[in-house]
């Protein structure tokens, strides 16, 4: 099958994760939080594993001298880009402001703000998936899996915000699906750009993907795991992070 078909298939699978919130609707808040923590832990390992086992070796496989420096700077630029995007979205007047407040959400307009912010993230995810499939099947599979795993806890949280902002289950589900569909536009953008300048797109987006994954894992996900300071959490989270890394290592045997 062609990389383009597989890229769109992958982004569709990631988009289906927007339905994850439905599975948690009948659960207690405590159980949902525990479930999300498991996914977050595994996602940390998957994101870091994908970065250092797949993306970084691919980036530096033939890079020497100035090329290696440019690749390193692009990885750092990816981290900085994700930092800037998140800061803008979470600014006092940004799209994701109040996401981490613990008081009940009573403003219906916040649902629209949440969806718009989520759509931006999904567009970026689509770009990353498209660029990875253009680079190689191995990178396509590993990046899709890493994106999928970090999307699960995010979609669970987004679904909860939409419900608490006054929407019905059906409305929340449809809005989440619509937001997830924006990732298809991101993938299409990467593929169209790749058709024009294939090598340039890969040289640019793959390092940015690596930097973005490091940022997401270390700046967004790992701090969430630090809230539970029990020894049980230490062992469980370490095991799940290690599991995510192992899965990425196993994927290296895929031709």
pLDDT single digits (tens) 138-158 = 889 999 998 888 888 777 767
Mean pLDDT in residue range 59-87: 88
Q: Band of the pLDDT at 118, cuts 50, 70, 90?
A: confident
- 64-75 burial string, b = 16+ CB within 10 Å, else e? eeeeeeebbebb
Least-confidence region, from 23-37, 48-62, 88-102, 179-193: 88-102
**Burial grade of 80 (CB within 10 A; 0-12, 13-18, 19 or more):** middle
Mean pLDDT in residue range 105-120: 62
Least-confidence region, from 33-37, 178-182, 245-249: 33-37
Least-confidence region, from 16-25, 90-99, 140-149, 217-226: 90-99
Residue, of 251 and 113, whose pLDDT is higher: 251
Indicate the DSSP class of residue 218. Answer: I
Mean pLDDT in residue range 57-85: 89
Residue, of 183 and 163, whose pLDDT is higher: 183
pLDDT reading at 96 higher than 60: no
In a 3-state reduction of DSSP, which class is residue 192?
helix
pLDDT reading at 99 higher than 50: no
pLDDT reading at 26 higher than 70: no
> Are the C-beta atoms of residues 97 and 90 closer than 8 Å to each other?
yes
Q: Please, what is the average pLDDT of the chain?
A: 82
Q: Band of the pLDDT at 106, cuts 50, 70, 90?
A: very low
Mean pLDDT in residue range 106-117: 59
Note the pLDDT of residue 44: 92
Indicate the DSSP class of residue 31. Answer: H
| Nearest residue to 56 via CA among 43, 75, 80, 70 | 75
- List, for residues 207-248, the tens digit of each pLDDT value: 988 998 899 889 888 998 998 889 999 999 999 999 999 999
Q: Band of the pLDDT at 161, cuts 50, 70, 90?
A: low
Note the pLDDT of residue 189: 92
Note the pLDDT of residue 167: 74
**Residue 247 is inside which H or E element, if any?**
helix 231-250
């Amino acid at each position: 099958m062609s990389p383009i078909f597989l890229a769109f298939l992958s982004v569709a699978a990631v988009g289906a994760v927007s339905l994850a919130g439905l599975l948690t609707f009948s659960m207690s808040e405590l159980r949902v939080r525990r479930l999300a923590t498991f996914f977050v832990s595994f996602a940390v390992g998957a994101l870091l594993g994908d970065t250092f086992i797949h993306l970084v070796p691919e980036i530096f496989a033939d890079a020497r001298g100035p090329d290696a420096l440019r690749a390193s700077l692009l990885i750092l630029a990816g981290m900085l880009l994700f930092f800037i995007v998140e800061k803008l979205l979470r600014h006092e007047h940004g799209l994701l402001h109040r996401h981490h407040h613990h008081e009940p959400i009573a403003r219906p307009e916040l649902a629209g703000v949440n969806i718009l912010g989520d759509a931006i993230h999904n567009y970026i995810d689509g770009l990353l998936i498209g660029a990875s499939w253009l680079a190689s099947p191995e990178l396509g599979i590993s990046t899709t899996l890493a994106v999928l795993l970090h999307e699960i806890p995010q979609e669970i949280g987004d679904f909860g915000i939409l419900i608490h902002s006054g929407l019905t289950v059906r409305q929340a589900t449809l809005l989440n699906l619509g937001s997830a569909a924006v990732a298809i536009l991101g993938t299409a953008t990467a593929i169209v750009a790749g058709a024009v300048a294939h090598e340039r797109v890969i040289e640019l987006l793959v390092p940015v993907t690596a930097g973005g994954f490091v940022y997401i894992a270390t700046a967004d996900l790992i701090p969430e795991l630090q809230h539970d300071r029990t020894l049980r959490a230490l062992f469980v989270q370490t095991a799940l992070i290690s599991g995510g890394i192992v899965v990425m290592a196993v994927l290296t045997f895929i031709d």
